[in-house]
Amino acid sequence: NAGVTQTPKFQVLKTGQSMTLQCAQDMNHNSMYWYRQDPGMGLRLIYYSASEGTTDKGEVPNGYNVSRLNKREFSLRLESAAPSQTSVYFCASSVLAGAHEQFFGPGTRLTVL
């Protein structure tokens, strides 16, 4: 099993460009999450999908959209990238209920010039 995979690993964009970050998990997990990690601030939740067919805003959703394509895949889209969106993005997944932890992907380092 690959666990949680993310593509791409690195990306450089110009201000105003758009892109989609892809995430997939092969653990049959119900819930999936997108976080961003900025220096000195830990990880902050952007959007999450508690189950297939549902998505909800997290702490910092502005400038982002998400799609839960199916149970395996959860994508994050930047419609018009801004320098403030320069960050490392992590996708995670977990079983919906119980004490199970979230499993993280390797992250995508995004730079917006």
Of the candidate spans 10-18, 66-74, 76-84, 87-95, the one that interacts with other proteins by CB under 8 A turns out to be 87-95
Torsion of CA 74, 7, 82, 54, to 10 degrees: 0
Alpha-carbon dihedral sign for residues 33, 88, 65, 44 = positive
- By the rule CB under 8 A, 94 interacts with other proteins: yes
**Pick 2 or 97: Cβ nearer other proteins:** 97
29 to 22, 41, 58: CA distances (angstroms) = 16, 27, 19
- Shortest Å, Cβ 16 to other proteins: 27
- By the rule CB under 8 A, 44 interacts with other proteins: yes
- By the rule CB under 8 A, 92 interacts with other proteins: yes
Tokens 């959209």 locate to: 65
Q: List residues near other proteins by CB under 8 A.
A: 31, 33, 35, 40-45, 48, 50, 56, 58, 88, 90, 92, 94, 96-97, 99, 101-102, 104, 106-107
